[in-house]
Amino acid sequence: MSKLLNNYNELKKKDASIIYLFRVGIFYNILNEDAKLLNRELGLKITNLSPEIIKCGFPINSLNKYIEKLNKKQLKYEIIDTAPKELNIDSYYKIINKIRKIDIDHINGVQALNILSELKKEVEN
């Protein structure tokens, strides 16, 4: 979270008028002053992570709903995607589906290592 906070602070120095929405995994996190503003304007619940970090957020599948609300309130925002570009949601589902298809009761050690090796290559690519 400290890396995210540093990024937030640097962005706020450049333009404090923008609300920064950080994509972290399957959520968008909003920090500190931006979180307080969205708590007041949109009713998002605030969580205290430490004395210097508060946050609020919403799931990525709710992005369009919140963009509409931000636009309606005429709030300036920017989406900061911190997720690695190669690991999008489709990639996660593809890997999860491969794992689901494994017949654990009928696999030997060599086959298991080969599957792990293939999955590792997919994640790295």
Region 30-49: mean pLDDT is 95
Statement: residue 1 has pLDDT above 80: no
pTM here is 0.66
Statement: residue 103 has pLDDT above 70: yes
Sequence-separated contacts (24+) of 27-36 with Cβ below 8 Å: 27/57, 27/58, 27/59, 27/60, 28/57, 28/58, 28/59, 28/60, 28/63, 28/66, 28/79, 29/4, 29/55, 29/56, 29/57, 30/55, 30/56, 30/57, 31/4, 31/5, 31/55, 32/5, 32/8, 34/8
Q: What percent of the chain has pLDDT over 90?
A: 57
* Predicted pLDDT at 67: 95
Statement: residue 89 has pLDDT above 80: no
**What is d(CA 81, CA 85) in angstroms, rounded to the nearest whole number?**
9
* Predicted pLDDT at 3: 86
Q: How many residues does the chain have?
A: 125
Q: What percent of the chain has pLDDT over 70?
A: 93
